[in-house]
Amino acid sequence: MALTDATRPTDVALNTDLYELTMAQGFWESGLADAEGCFNVFFRDAPFGGGYAVACGMGQIADLVENFVFEDDAIEYLAGVQAPGGGPMFKEGFLRYLRDFRMRVSVWAVPEGELVFPREPMVRVEGPLIDCQLLETALLNLVNFQTLVATKTARVVHAAEGHPVSDFGLRRAQGPDGGLAVARASYIGGASSTSNVLAGKIYGIPVFGTHAHSWVMAFPTELDAFRAFARTSPKNCVLLLDTYDVHQGIRNAITVAKEMEQAGERLAAIRIDSGDLAKLSKETRAAFDEAGLDYVKISVSNDLDEYTIQSLFAQGAPIDSFGVGTKLATCDPQPSLGGVYKLSATRATPDDPWDPVIKLSEMAYKRTIPGVQHIRRYYDEAGCPMGDMIVDDSAAGDDDATIVDVLDELTTYDVSGGTPRELMEQLVEKGARTKEPDTIEQAKSRCREALMHLDPSVRRFLNPQIYPVGLERGLARLRSDLARAELRDSGRR
C-alpha cells in the first residue's frame, strides 16, 4: 500500500475491483458457496515484442492469501456502499459471511525468476468459486507488474553484456508501492543494485548512489564540490561530470583522483548523465588512461533502455556500468503485461471430478484452454529448454511427446528427444502456505541460469524466434470438442 496511506497488510481484501465482491455475493446468494473453480493466470503475447517473460511476484502470493481477511472497518465500509439504483450494495447476510471469511484456495505457480511464455499458466488457483473470484484482482496486480519489470530488466541486463545495471527508477515509478515493486522485480531480473533505500531495507537488495547536480551547484566551483565529496565519501566516490562542461569536469575529476591517491584513497568512478554518451565516454576513458587512472570506471545514465545500451556498445563506448531509471520503472514502451485470470474448470463440491470449461469469442485469439492445467518443460542434453507442454491429467492421452500449437492445431512440435520436468510448484494448500518462498537471491540466480540456457534466437530483441508452447494431444482434442459443443449448443455453425 502507498506509504502516504494508513494501510495494513489485511487491507488487501479491499484492494480489488468492485465486481469481484458483487460476483462473490451473487455466488453466495445463488447457493454456490461450496462450488469450486479452477482459474489460470496467463498472458497472450510476450512483452516488448520479445520472445519470453520472467515470472515474478509469485514469492508474495502466500502472504496475499494468508492476509486476505475482512476486518471490522472493512465490513463497515462495505455496509455503507450504495447501489446505483438505491439502497445498500451488499446484503447483511453476505457481510456476516465476509466477517468470518478466510481464504481456502490452493495455489500452484511457476517459480520466481523462471522463464514463461504466452498462453501457458503462470499461476493456477483452485478452490471455492467465491474465494477464487475475490482473489483475482489482487493476484493479477501482484504478478502482472512485477513480471513486466523483471522482463524489462532482463532485456536491459542482456544489452549491458555483463556490466552492472542499477535501478534508478524510484522518482519516476508509479507511487511508493510501484517503486518497491520495481526494485524487487528488477533485482530478480538481473539488476545489481537499487537507489531505493527502503527496498534495500525490506528486501536486502544492495543500494547504490553518490551525488546529484545540486551537490556541484551548491559549491563555489565544481572542483570545490568534487574535493568536498571525495573528503566526505572516499569509499563511495563517484563524481558526476556534466553539471557544466564535461571536459572541464574530466579535468577536475582527474585532479581530485590524483589528490585521493596521495591520501591513500581511490576515485571509484565518474558518471555522465547527458550528451553524446558514446563520444563523451570515449574521451573520458582516453583522458583518465593518459593520466594513469585506468582503474577509474565510467558509469552513465540518462533515459537508458536496452536499445540505447546496445547502440552504445555498437559504437565502442567504454562504459562500465549503467543507471537505468525512467524507462525501467515505467517499462517503456509497454505499460502493462496484459495478464488475465480465466476460469478453466468447475465442480459442484470438492469431492466431484472437475468439469472443464472454455470461453469462446468472436476472436479465436481470445479462446481459452480448458481443464486443470500444469506445464511440462522439455530440456535437451545441455539443459536448454526445447518446448512447453500444457497438460490436464484427466484429458491426457498417451505419452506422445508432441505439442499441439495453441492457436493452430495443424502445427505441432516434437520434443521426444527431451527430458520433461514439471514446472509449477504448490505454494498454498487450502489457504495455508506449503513452503516458505524462495529468497530473491534464489529467484535472481534462477533467472540468470534460465536466460543463459535460452536459445539466443528466442532471446534476441528483433524478430525473436517463437518458443514452442502448446497442448498435449489429449487436451488439444478436449479443447476442440468443447469448442464444437459450445458452438453447436449456441446454434452457430
Write out pLDDT tens, residues 339-387. 999 999 999 999 999 999 999 877 777 889 999 999 999 999 999 999 9
Whole-number Å distance between alpha carbons of 265 and 85: 73
241 located within any domain: yes
Task: Give alpha helix (H) positions in 236-305.
Answer: 246-262, 277-290
- Percent of the chain past pLDDT 90, that is, above it, reads 91
For residues 303 and 157, the answer to whether their CB atoms sit within 8 Å is no
Where b means 16+ CB within 10 Å and e means fewer, 290-309 reads ebebeebbbbbbbebbbebb
The single residue listed with the C-alpha cell 588512461 is 289
Q: Per the structure, how many domains does the chain have?
A: 1
**Is the bond leading into 333 cis (omega within 30 degrees of zero)?**
yes
Closest listed residue to residue 42, CA positions, set 103, 119, 107 = 119
Q: How confident is the model at residue 480, as a pLDDT?
A: 92
For residues 348 and 35, the answer to whether their CB atoms sit within 8 Å is yes
CATH number for the domain harbouring residue 252: 3.20.20.70
134 located within any domain: no
pLDDT band at 236 (very low <50, low <70, confident <90, very high): very high
Return mean pLDDT, the chain.
Answer: 95
Q: How confident is the model at residue 3, as a pLDDT?
A: 56
- Percent of the chain past pLDDT 70, that is, above it, reads 97
Q: How confident is the model at residue 339, as a pLDDT?
A: 97
Q: How confident is the model at residue 11, as a pLDDT?
A: 86
268 located within any domain: yes
**Other Cβ atoms closer than 10 A to 260:** 20
22 located within any domain: no
247 located within any domain: yes
Using the predicted structure, report yes or no on whether residue 488 has a pLDDT greater than 80. no
pLDDT band at 487 (very low <50, low <70, confident <90, very high): confident
The neighbouring-strand residues paired with 375 are: 390
Of 1-5, 167-171, 284-288, the range with the lowest mean pLDDT is: 1-5
Q: How confident is the model at residue 6, as a pLDDT?
A: 57
| Domain, as residue range, for 234 | 210-299
244 located within any domain: yes
Q: How confident is the model at residue 1, as a pLDDT?
A: 47
Q: How confident is the model at residue 2, as a pLDDT?
A: 54
276 located within any domain: yes
Average pLDDT rounded to a whole number, residues 481-490: 82
Whole-number Å distance between alpha carbons of 272 and 349: 63
Average pLDDT rounded to a whole number, residues 298-305: 96
218 located within any domain: yes
Residue 454 makes CB contacts below 8 A (sequence gap 6+) with 52, 115, 384, 385
For residues 135 and 125, the answer to whether their CB atoms sit within 8 Å is yes
For residues 366 and 359, the answer to whether their CB atoms sit within 8 Å is yes
pLDDT band at 493 (very low <50, low <70, confident <90, very high): very low
397-423 per-position pLDDT tens digit: 767 899 999 989 899 999 999 999 999
